[in-house]
Amino acid sequence: MTSLSPTPPGDPQAALTIGVLRETAAGENRVALDPDVAAEFLRDGRRVLIESGAGERAGWADADYSAAGATVAPRADVLDRLDVLAAVRRPHDEVTSALREGQGLVGMLDPFQNLDLLDGLCRRGVTVAAFELLPRTLSRSQSMDALSSQSAAAGYRAAIVAAEAFGGFFPMMITAAGTARPARILVIGAGVAGLQALSTARRLGAVVTGYDVRPASRGEVESVGASFATSSVAEGAGSGGYARAMTADELAAQQQELSQLITRFDVVITTAKVPGRRPPVLVPQETLESMARGSVCVDLASGPFGGNVHGSVDGRRIVTPNGVTVIGSSDLAMTIPTAASRMFAKNVHALIAALTHDGTFEPDLDDELQRTVVVCHDHEIVSAAIRKAMGLDESLEARPEEVRS
């Protein structure tokens, strides 16, 4: 392990330095860079500093990073020398408080729930980019789309977790003891996580159905070999890659239809997250009580605001009085850290490359993608969405000094 002397961020004589620390969030096993992408940064002319032990829980030893050309160093040295900190999740306060003017932070930062943190980083001159703000409808953002890559990992894992929790076989089994019918799986939400859950469950041999309020999702669901079900309620298409929130009347009508459908299935996987808000309850208590004993619900929307399934608790497995297993998990991707980290690292590389110009981490705010994904730069909150959440004028030009005081 090498001890390093501090170099001022942005020093023109030094290569842009990407720093990675060991993740400290509870249960988090991923790492922001794997050795392969670390080597890719080095081929780009960047420098990579890795905290000792940062990759252990994802399957990589310090020696793997050293072999790729990265420098393994103590935590304090990485923080001193980095130009851009790549993080999977919002770093601990002791890390964010150590970031200073000219440095950058890139990660899944849950920005709308951390406005005070972002305001403090902005005032100190830290450039921050949050994957949650990426304009997902732009085709050129696909390589940077960490939400999609991690949702794909979570959807895959949801099918595996459901198969483990279900007391029967997923495929049809013909044995000397007789024939077992295949499990019937319903996946609610045909986004990235839902489609991956459908395709994985089908590969395991189950009979799969995908449900979505957007009739246009039929083609995607059927392309993975699943049947499609939708609501008779008005189309629920939204913007930015998410289904829109329904009105109370629409939700009530949809819920009645959906409850009748749910009770016909052995396994239900729900994926209807609403960023920064309470997700819709798609499997209410009365529906849960109507499900057959031994049924399984995996709730990928479970979190601090609740979940899609009544009574689900993030990180817990609960068995209801009528014998239905409810598994809550807001982020199953972290339970397959090697695969999820590989994908996340590629997203990190693509985003940092887009935000780097002439060897400096300097976003071009005239570019729509960069202007949208960057929260703050040069002491300014530049994201219109975050400015609105903070109660600021959405136009930068209107009050250019409002976050500087």
Torsion on CA atoms 242, 246, 252, 254, rounded to nearest 10: -40
Q: Does the active-site annotation cover 142? A: yes
Burial of 344 (0-12, 13-18, 19+ CB in 10 A): buried
Residues 160, 175: Cα–Cα separation, whole Å: 23
In this model, does residue 367 exceed pLDDT 50? yes
136 is an active site residue: yes
Residue 331 CA, chain-centre distance (Å), reads 7
CATH class of 17-144+337-389: alpha beta
What number does CATH give the domain 152-330?
3.40.50.720
Q: Which of 242, 244, 259, 317 is flagged as catalytic?
A: 242
pLDDT of residue 10: 41
Q: How confident is the model at residue 347 (pLDDT cuts 50, 70, 90)?
A: very high
- For residues 199 and 220, the answer to whether their CB atoms sit within 8 Å is no
Contact indicator for 24, 93 with CB cutoff of 8 Å: no
Residues 377-393 have a mean pLDDT of 93
pLDDT score at 5:
41
Report the pLDDT value the prediction gives residue 49, as an integer from 0 to 100.
98
- Catalytic residue of the set 62, 77, 145, 331: 145
pLDDT at residue 20, as a whole number: 98
- Which amino acid belongs to residue 240? G
Residue with tokens 């530049």: 382
pLDDT for 258 beyond 50: yes
The set of residues, in sequence order, having a beta carbon less than 8 Å from that of 21 and lying 6+ positions away, is 51, 54, 75, 78, 79, 85, 87, 91, 95
CA distances from 156 to 68, 161, 252 (A): 29, 9, 30
The conformation of residue 87, written as its DSSP 8-state character, comes to E
Is 221 in a helix, a strand, or coil? Answer: helix
Measured between alpha carbons, how far is 182 from 206 in angstroms, rounded to an integer? 5
Active site residue 13: no
Mean pLDDT across the chain: 90
Are 17-144+337-389 and 152-330 equal in CATH topology? yes
Selecting among 93, 140, 142, 285, the annotated active-site residue is 142
pLDDT digits (tens, 9 = 90+) for 183-203: 999 999 999 999 999 999 999
- Counting residues of the chain whose pLDDT is more than 70, the rounded percentage is 90
Short-list 113, 88, 128, CA closest to 275: 113
* List 141, 148, 330, 341, catalytic entry: 148
Q: Are 90 and 110 in contact (CB under 8 A)?
A: yes
Residue 314 has pLDDT above 70, yes or no: yes
pLDDT given for residue 242 in this prediction: 52
Report whether pLDDT(246) > 90.
no
Q: Residue 283: is its pLDDT beyond 80?
A: yes
Give the integer Cα–Cα distance in Å for 77 and 31.
18
250 pLDDT more than 80: no
* Residue 270 pLDDT class (50, 70, 90 cuts): very high
DSSP SS3 for 276: coil
- Residue 13: what pLDDT? 43
- Nearest Cα neighbor of 46 from 101, 103, 84 is 84
Q: CA-to-CA distance for 229 and 259, rounded, in angstroms?
A: 13
At 136 the pLDDT is 86
As beta bridge partners, residue 270 has: 188, 299
- Looking at the DSSP assignment, which residues form a beta bridge with residue 319? 325
Q: Does residue 364 carry a catalytic annotation?
A: no
Q: Inform me whether the pLDDT recorded for 401 exceeds 80.
A: no
Q: What's the pLDDT score for residue 253?
A: 83
pLDDT at 46: 97
Going from N- to C-terminal start, the domains of the chain cover 17-144+337-389, 152-330
- Could you tell me how many residues make up the chain? 405
In angstroms, the CA 113 to CA 129 distance is: 15
Task: Give the span between the Cα atoms of 309 and 268, in whole angstroms.
Answer: 10
Rounded mean pLDDT, 67-88: 97
Q: How far apart are CA 201 and CA 204, in angstroms?
A: 5
Q: How far is Cα 279 from Cα 75, in angstroms, rounded to an integer?
A: 37
Q: What confidence score (pLDDT) does residue 244 get? A: 59
Q: What is the pLDDT averaged over residues 339-367?
A: 96
Mean pLDDT of 210-217: 91
CB atoms within 10 A of CB 77: 21
Distance CA 381, CA 404 (A): 10
| CA-wise closest residue to 58 among 345, 370, 349, 307 | 345
Q: 326 has which bridge partners?
A: 297, 318
Residue 339 has, within 13 A of its CA and on its CB side, a CA count of: 13
pLDDT cut 90: percent of the chain above it = 80
Give the alpha-carbon dihedral of 233, 235, 239, 242, to 10 degrees. 60
Q: Which of 117-126, 140-149, 356-365, 387-396 is the least confident region?
A: 387-396
Residue with the larger pLDDT of the pair 395 and 181: 181
Catalytic residue, from 89, 136, 202, 387: name it: 136
Catalytic residue list contains 148: yes
